[in-house]
Chain A
Amino acid sequence: MISSTSRRMMAVAAAFAITTAGLSACSTSADADAKSATEGGTLVFSNWQWLEPGRGEVMWEAVNGYVTDNPKAELVKSETAFAQYADKLNTQLGAGSGPDVFVIGDSQFVTLAEAGLLEPLNSSVSGVKLNASNDSMVLEGDQLGVTWDQVSYALLGNKIVMEQAGLTQMPTTVDELIAASKAIEANGADGFAVRHQMNDFGGWYFDFQAWPYGQGGAWSDGEKLTIDSPANVKGVSEFKRVMEAGIVPIGDDASTFRTKFKENQLGFTIDNSGAAASFASGGKLTGADILSAPLPFPFSGQNEHLILAVNANSKNKELAKNFVSWVVSESGQSALRPSMGASTMATNIPLEQEFETANPWAATYLENGSKSRSVLIPGFETETVPIMRIIMQAVERVIAEGQDPQAALSQAQQEAEAAN
């Protein structure tokens, strides 16, 4: 028979375990004391890129050029890994707290702007000749963000690994990519890698757009969803073909296959210009060892818009806006240019000649960037993430369970329509 002490112990343990399962939520109101920028102060700047090996340090050093211009200001970096970045920032901002300045993706920008959590930056950009990439950040006449880094996608090749396998040309089609990757596999390295798992969802759905966009596909026509269009089915089918070709290290997440690329253990990847800049920022691989080519598809791919914005609940808004003024100024853009690689920035600041010479891969990105499309779903901008989750689950069914791409996307179309 169970003792009374055991019973009491059970009761206490069970009650404690159950009650701690509750959700907690709290909100705080921000202190709106307005300090002028000349008074200085501390700005917390949040960006996952601080954690990118090599590139993060260079970028942080460039950003600190602001402190030279405004010695009373202090910049503090807030570092969060990309996988958790958006979730953490949304939670902080929703609770009325969070960093003063931050970098966000375009889907997150739309959500935060609609919630009124972004400070208008009209005064910060007044008189600055911003390029067209900033236009999408003007809502109801207010500039709510500026382009930090607009990255495009390209096919990258590791020249050293390719030469070891006797390859001299970059593939231009999926068939050529598979054949070249098999040659590299036969030589002991991994052939081709891209994100392909749901535990990498935040990055996978950005990267994956290359496949349907590359076939001329789109997830909507601006009014209704077109998830199961023939072009999208073709894109998913091509992705499936590559995944089943035995050339992809299944299970490798982005940090793993990027490290392999940098360590000369991977032949090809489709990745963004930020990743390419990171590959070329030190270590075994130099900029000259990286080859680039247009995506091996008939049409061009996507771009990922990274936006610099200011927290509407920041206690140091004026200083934060002053910082943005510096970022979009000529000195700020010049300081940041080397760390941005071949990305489009807020103003049309050209690549440095020295960088272009040392990094021949950059030219392809500049070319691809001008033809690329946003990852936001037209007409469904604020619903992009939930819709993409449904689509990526369909893609997962195709590559993990062998479901027919047409059937998987038709199912996704129905699910997305029901949810919207």
Chain B
Amino acid sequence: MPVLVEDEKDVVHNSKSSPRKNRLKSHSRGFSRWAGYLFIAPAIIYLAIFLLVPFARGIQLSFTDSVLVNPSGGSFVGIENYANLVTSARFWNSLGATLTYTATTVFFSMFVGTTTAILVNRKFRGRTIVRAILTFPYAMPSVAVTLVFIWIYNQSGGILNRTTGALGLGEVGWLTDPSFGMFSVVATTVWKVFPFVMLVMLAALQSVPEELFEAARVDGADSLSTFRSIVLPHLMPTIRVVALLMTIWSIRRFEIIFLLTGGGPVEKTNTLVINIYQRAFSEQQLGAAAAIAVLGLILSLAVTVVFFLAERRENVKEGTS
């Protein structure tokens, strides 16, 4: 019996239908064509109102001298805000702090998160409890975490300096010494976000087929070889996705840095986002702040584009090998 494809079925069916049924069918097809758009319309409208319009307004503000207390009263100043930024040492310092913070946070949270995931993926007694405990930092509100760390870092009475004091290492200005400010902020952030990396990596590890491990055992592969040849290739796509997300989130992170140091000591942790806040709210220069926001957006976009280009190149390479 010949098999009819869907279109052929329609033709056969339509040839036997009445004109009224054909009209109904035609209406139904018209609806089907627009149904998809109708279903996504609420989401598109929502995004347009709460995201795209404010976003476009932000870009427009960056070309004005608007101030916080009169956001609509600014006049067009062309690229003046951008020109001021690129000649400002404060902006470049801010960009440097953002890159340092992002690179170190992403590296250490990926390293700690992945290592922890591999460790807790092994079978041992109390594994579930250990996993739950390790997830706590991610579940805790950032503000609460930061307040706890402010006490830990306190120079005169903090537990960290009590420990260094007892060990004869003296006191360290964890949040007040320019040499330690960035370290303290990164350490707090890594403590807060590494469980996210751990959870995602754990899920990826559990998706590695057991047969591959068995085959490796049969072939006499040691732990390192098994990790390098089986585990790592399976983890790589996940590592890339998580690294991208961590990078974008790090560029945008505000609350931990703001509450710990407010951008200090001596602007060592004054990232772009903190700079935007200071310009927009403390100094009330909404136009200048919007210009920094736009440059920050370009930075995020650049990271993403570089990531996707690298990804595509790798895919092409894998496809040809």
Contacts and interface: CB of A to CB of B under 8 A. Distances in A.
A115 B155 contact: no
A21 B297 contact: yes
A198 B69 contact: no
B70 A115 contact: yes
A227 interface: no
A251 B184 CA distance: 13
B300 A23 contact: no
Central interface residue in A23, A24, A26, A91, by most chain B CB within 10 Å: A23
Contacts of B156: 190, 249-252
B293 A21 contact: yes
A279 B31 CA distance: 72
Given A197-B262, A251-B173, A22 B252 contact: no
B178 A400 contact: yes
B208 interface: no
Interface residues of A, number: 53
B222 interface: no
A25 interface: yes
A25 B178 CA distance: 34
A216 to B, nearest CB: 28
Interface stretch (A8-16, A41-49, A165-173, A329-337): A8-16
B177 A13 contact: no
A389 interface: yes
Nearest to B153: A251
Contacts, number: 170
A26 B238 CA distance: 39
A21 B272 CA distance: 12
Interface in A89-118: 90-91, 93-95, 111-112, 115-117
A132 interface: no
Contacts of B241: 6, 9-10, 13
A385 interface: yes
B281 interface: yes
B266 A24 contact: no
A3 interface: yes
B195 interface: no
Contacts of A7: 311
A244 to B, nearest CB: 12
B282 A400 contact: no
Given A93-B69, A201-B282, A400-B177, A21 B264 contact: no
A409 to B, nearest CB: 15
Contacts of B311: 2, 7, 10
B82 to A, nearest CB: 15
B284 A27 contact: no
Interface in B305-321: 307-308, 311, 314-315, 318-319
Contacts of B266: 393, 396-397, 400-401
Interface stretch (B49-57, B97-105, B128-136): B49-57
B58 A22 contact: yes
Contact of B293 (A3, A22, A93): A22
Contact of B286 (A25, A111, A196): A25
Contacts of B278: 389
Given A6-B237, A252-B156, A17 B263 contact: no
Contact of A25 (B58, B177, B276, B301): B58
B201 interface: no
Nearest to A2: B237
B283 interface: yes
A117 B296 CA distance: 32
Contacts of B300: 17-18, 21
A103 B175 CA distance: 32
Contacts of B95: none
Contacts of B190: none
Interface in B180-235: none
Given A24-B57, A250-B156, 14 more contacts: A1-B319, A14-B307, A25-B58, A90-B281, A94-B70, A198-B265, A249-B155, A249-B156, A256-B154, A389-B278, A393-B266, A393-B267, A400-B176, A401-B178
Interface of B: 50-52, 54-55, 57-58, 61, 67-73, 153-158, 173-178, 237-238, 240-241, 244-245, 248-249, 251-252, 258-267, 276, 278, 280-284, 286, 289-290, 293, 296-297, 300-301, 304, 307-308, 311, 314-315, 318-319
Task: List the 4 closest pairs (A to B, CB-CB), nearest first.
Answer: A199-B262, A24-B54, A22-B55, A23-B58
